[in-house]
Amino acid sequence: MANRKLARGVALVGAGMSKFGAFKGKSSRDLFVEAYAEMLSSIDKPFDPKLIEALYVGNYSSDLFENQGHLAPIVASWTGLNPLPAVRVEDACASAGAALYQGILGIASGMYDIVMVGGVEKMTDLATEKVTDTLATAADAEFEIPAGFTFPGFYAAMATSYMAAYGATPETFMKVSIKNHYNGSMNEKAQFGAKITTLMEARKASTAKKGLPIPEWKDELEFLHDEKANPTIAWPLRLYDCSPISDGAAVVLLVSEELAKNFSDCPIYIAGIGQASDGALHDRKEINSIPSARLAGEKAYKMAGIGPKDIDFAEVHDCFTIAEVIATEDLGFYDRGKGWKAAEDGETNRESSQPINLSGGLKSKGHPVGASGVGQVVEVWKQLRGQAGERQINRKMKYGLTHNVGGTGQTCVVHIFERRD
Amino acid sequence: MEDQFTYAAYSNYLNEHKLMGSRDKSSGETFLPPRPVNPETHSFDMEWYEFIGKGKLQAFTVVFIAPTAMLQAGYDRKNPYCVGIVKTEEGPMISAFISGVDVNHPETIKIGMPVQVAFIDRGEGELKRSFLAFQPV
C-alpha cells in the first residue's frame, strides 16, 4: 500500500447537527438548515458564510424517500450559498463519510480553501416496508435481494457466521445495545436518548394504561430476551439490535490547515483518511469481518502515522449491534474473534480507555443514513474540544476515529481526527 | 465477446433450473454470480460453466420482517423464511433462499451443513420465475 499524504493539511473549524428522530413536516432541506445553523454557531471566531467555496452533501436516497433528486443545489439554496459548486455524494449509509472524504480532497488539492460538508436523510415519510425496500437498493438487486435478503438479514447472517466461528451469543449483541442506549441517554440530539431501563419502565406504563397485565423483567437482559418486548427481526437480531429509521442532518466546515487558527481557537485536524470498496457480501472471502473496513482503517492509520492503540475513542457504524463488534476488530482495537468478549466485559464502555460510540452510536442516536457519517464527526469534534456536556470524557484526548460503512461493507470510509496542543 | 454474462442470461438459465456461472478459460477459475471479468487477472476470456450444485451453508438468517417481494410470495412474521450464503464445492459463494430447514427453531440450522441446489418457482404464466435455493442434503 502506497503511503499517501494529503498535499496540504485540512482542519475542522465548525460542526453541528439537527436532532435525530422522526420529524413530521420537516424535509431534508429543513433539517440541513438546522444543522447548518448549529455549525455556524460552533465556529469560535467571526465567520462570513460567503467564504464557503464548495458544498459536498452526503445523501442516500432523497429520490425514493422524498421524491426529490438533485438535492445538493437545493440545500445550497436553502442555506443561501448558491452559486457555489454543490455536489451530492451517494455511497449508501457511507454517503456522508464519502462526502467528507471528497471535501477533504477538495481542499488538499489546492482547489478550495474553505469547504462545507454535510449529510442529510429524511426517512420517516415512508411506511416501514417501503423504507426497508429503499434501504435494500443499497444491496445487489440482481444477486442478493432475489434470495430474500433484507439489511437486518445481511447483518444477521454476519452474526450467525461470527457466532459459529467465535462463540458469541445473541446476549453479546444485547450488551452492545444496552451500552449504546446508556451512552445515548446523555445525548440531547439522540432519537432515543433513553437507557433500556427507562424504555422498560415506559413499556410497563403503557401496558398498565391499556389495562393489560404488567410484565415483570428483573433486568435489561430479561427484557431484551422477551419476544414480545423485543421481537426478532432477522434471527438472531431483534428490534433492539437494529438502528432506528430516522430523519436528521449534520454539517461540518473544513478549511486549509494554514487558515484554521483564523476561525478557530481549537481546530481539529484531519490526521488520516481511508476509503475502500467491495462486492456483495457473498463475494468476499469471509463474512464475519468487513474487508473494506480493514483496508480503509489501515490507510487512515498509515496516513496518520499511528496505530489502533493511539485512538482515544471511536464512533463506529453500529447500524446493527453485531456491526459494532465486527468494527472493533476490523479497526484493530481487538484481534479477530476477540471483540465480542471485549463488548461483554465492558471494555468498550465510557469508563474504559478506548470507549466506542460515546454519542450512543447509530443504535441510540438514530441513523438518518446519508447523515450518519458526518453525525459521527460532530461527536468527535465535541469530545476532542471538551464540549460534549454530560457525556464528555474527562481526560486529555488526542485522536478520535470515525468508521462509516455503506451497505454490508461495499463501502467503508475511515477518518482520524487530531487535537494538537 | 459472444457470451454476455448478464443477469438476464443468468436468470434464463435459472428458469431452466440450471445454476450457471462463468469460468476463466485460461485459469479454469469459476465465478458465481457469472462475472465478465476475472478480478485477479483482469482477463475477459470467460465461458459459461454449470455449477454442480453442491455446497456448504456459510451464514444464514431467518427473516421475520419480510420485504415487499417476499410478502407477496406469502412470507411474514407468522411465516418466516431462511436465507443464507452458500459456499459451492467449486469455491465461489452465493446468496440463496434456504428451503427445508426448521425456521421456527433457527438454532437447529447449522453453519457448515452440506446443502444442494434447489429451484423455487414463483408466479404464474408469463410472470413465472425461478429463484435460486439450496436445501439440506
Tell me which of A131, A142, A160 to substitute to probe the interface with B (most B C-beta atoms closer than 10 Å): A160
pLDDT at B3: 63
Tell me which of B62, B65, B77, B98 to substitute to probe the interface with A (most A C-beta atoms closer than 10 Å): B65
Average predicted confidence (pLDDT) for chain B: 95
Contacts of A159 in chain B (CB under 8 A): 61
**For residues B82-103, average pLDDT:** 98
Per-residue confidence band for B2, with pLDDT thresholds at 50, 70 and 90: low
Closest-CA residue of chain A to B88: A282
- Please give the Cα distance from A359 to A314 (Å, whole number): 10
CA distance A293 to chain B (A): 20
**Any A CB within 8 A of B85 CB:** yes
pLDDT at B55: 98
Q: Does residue A287 contact residue A45 with C-beta atoms inside 8 Å?
A: no
**Any A CB within 8 A of B118 CB:** no
Contact B69 A149 (CB under 8 A): no
CA distance A131 to chain B (A): 9
pLDDT in tens, A24-65: 999 999 999 999 999 999 999 999 999 999 999 999 999 999
pLDDT at A129: 85
Does B118 lie in the same domain as B73? yes
Average predicted confidence (pLDDT) for chain A: 97
Does B88 lie in the same domain as B67? yes
* Backbone angles phi and psi of A125, in degrees to 5: -75, -25
Instruction: Choose among B58, B83, B94: nearest Cβ to A153.
Output: B83
Q: Is pLDDT of A383 > 80?
A: yes
Q: Is B58 within a domain? A: yes
**For residues B64-78, average pLDDT:** 94
Domain count, chain B: 2
**Any B CB within 8 A of A235 CB:** yes
**For residues A99-117, average pLDDT:** 98
**Any B CB within 8 A of A326 CB:** no
pLDDT at A89: 98
Q: Give percent of chain B with pLDDT exceeding 70.
A: 98
Closest to A180 in 3D by CA, of A41, A324, A54: A324
Q: Is pLDDT of A405 > 80?
A: yes
**Any A CB within 8 A of B93 CB:** yes
Does B60 lie in the same domain as B35? no
Does B69 lie in the same domain as B40? no
* Backbone angles phi and psi of A228, in degrees to 5: -75, -45
- Please give the Cα distance from A156 to B60 (Å, whole number): 7
Does B84 lie in the same domain as B33? no
pLDDT in tens, A3-29: 889 999 999 999 999 999 999 999 999
Does B85 lie in the same domain as B113? yes
Q: Is B119 within a domain? A: yes
Which alpha helices (H) appear in chain B, and where do they start and end? 7-15, 68-72
**For residues A317-323, average pLDDT:** 98
pLDDT in tens, A348-373: 999 999 999 999 999 999 999 999 99
Q: Give whole-number Cα distances, A334 to A79, A81, A325, A339, in Å.
A: 42, 44, 9, 6
Catalytic residues of A: 93, 367
Q: Is B79 within a domain? A: yes
Q: Is pLDDT of B1 > 80?
A: no
Closest to A58 in 3D by CA, of A382, A389, A397, A376: A376
Sign of CA dihedral A107, A111, A115, A121: negative
ipTM over cut 0.90: yes
CATH code of the domain in which B96 resides:
2.40.50
Does B97 lie in the same domain as B72? yes
**For residues B128-135, average pLDDT:** 97
- Please give the Cα distance from A245 to A367 (Å, whole number): 6
Per-residue confidence band for A228, with pLDDT thresholds at 50, 70 and 90: very high
Closest-CA residue of chain B to A158: B59
Instruction: Choose among B64, B94, B131: nearest Cβ to A234.
Output: B64
Q: Is pLDDT of A2 > 80?
A: no
Place of cell 444464514: B60
Contact A287 B59 (CB under 8 A): yes
Q: Does residue A7 contact residue A110 with C-beta atoms inside 8 Å?
A: yes
Segments forming the whole domain that contains residue B15? 7-50
CA distance A402 to chain B (A): 28
Instruction: Choose among A157, A164, A231: nearest Cβ to B61.
Output: A157
Q: Is pLDDT of A378 > 90?
A: yes
Does B97 lie in the same domain as B76? yes
Does B120 lie in the same domain as B103? yes
Q: Is B2 within a domain? A: no
Q: Is B59 within a domain? A: yes
Q: Is pLDDT of A399 > 50?
A: yes
Contact A160 B69 (CB under 8 A): no
Q: Does residue A247 contact residue A123 with C-beta atoms inside 8 Å?
A: yes
Contacts of A231 in chain B (CB under 8 A): 64, 77
SS3 call for A276:
strand
Q: Is B62 within a domain? A: yes
Instruction: Choose among A148, A154, A231: nearest Cβ to B70.
Output: A148
CA distance A344 to chain B (A): 21
**Any B CB within 8 A of A129 CB:** yes
Contact A231 B64 (CB under 8 A): yes
Helix (H) or strand (E) holding B24: strand B20-24
**Any A CB within 8 A of B115 CB:** no
**Any A CB within 8 A of B37 CB:** no
pLDDT at A102: 98
pLDDT at A201: 94
* Cβ-based burial of A211 (10 A; exposed 0-12, middle 13-18, buried ≥19): exposed
**Any A CB within 8 A of B58 CB:** yes
**For residues A206-220, average pLDDT:** 91
Contacts of B95 in chain A (CB under 8 A): 140, 143-144, 147, 149, 280-282
Contact A147 B62 (CB under 8 A): no
pLDDT in tens, A131-189: 999 999 999 999 999 999 999 999 999 999 999 999 999 999 999 999 999 999 999 99
Does B113 lie in the same domain as B74? yes
Q: Give percent of chain A with pLDDT exceeding 70.
A: 100
Does B72 lie in the same domain as B36? no
pLDDT at B121: 96
Q: Is B124 within a domain? A: yes
Tell me which of B70, B85, B122, B131 to substitute to probe the interface with A (most A C-beta atoms closer than 10 Å): B85
Place of cell 433462499: B97
Q: Is B1 within a domain? A: no
Contacts of B64 in chain A (CB under 8 A): 231-235
Does B91 lie in the same domain as B30? no
